[in-house]
Chains A and B, each alone.
Chain A
Amino acid sequence: SQTIHQWPATLVQPVGSPLSLECTVEGTSNPNLYWYRQAAGRGLQLLFYSVGIGQISSEVPQNLSASRPQDRQFILSSKKLLLSDSGFYLCAWSGWEGMYGYTFGSGTRLTVV
């Protein structure tokens, strides 16, 4: 069965510090991978998606970047965090495995102070 791991669960970072959130998927190959953010009082917003190694597309301009160094690894980064980067970040995967739907990781609560 497919599983998705995301870490860390919580993170408190000062403004201007770097960020690295990691997501890995097991039990599938060549998944589509996504980073979403849920800001306070808002729905889930798609930040980045990737259909393959090294292939990253961004939905909105922002202070963040994403990378996919391996087929089942997706990393969300920032060189210098802003206060507005605070939120709940979710990694997700989707793909044809005989079922529809997206599977989300457990999320990372990022607080920039």
Chain B
Amino acid sequence: DAMVIQNPRYQVTQFGKPVTLSCSQTLNHNVMYWYQQKSSQAPKLLFHYYDKDFNNEADTPDNFQSRRPNTSFCFLDIRSPGLGDAAMYLCATSRTVHQETQYFGPGTRLLVL
């Protein structure tokens, strides 16, 4: 089945230790998004790729970076995780950025010790 896959589902890291979360999709969608969702809050868009074009939200901390080596894969790099970065990280895809529905992966829950 076509889908959005996120690995790992749970990630534990230490304060300040770089961590990478991965997302892959079999939908062949042009756009991939990364959201941060803290407990009991709405998902917050961090950035998105339209093909190879990277679009960063204005309030996304510099600590967060992303890579998209090809259409299928997108990575979220947190260079120096702080305790406040503990959250669920959701990857989503859409065919275009306009009226298209976004399809979400199951998320990766990040714990920072």
Q: Do A and B bind each other?
A: no
Spell out B's residues near A (CB within 8 Å): none
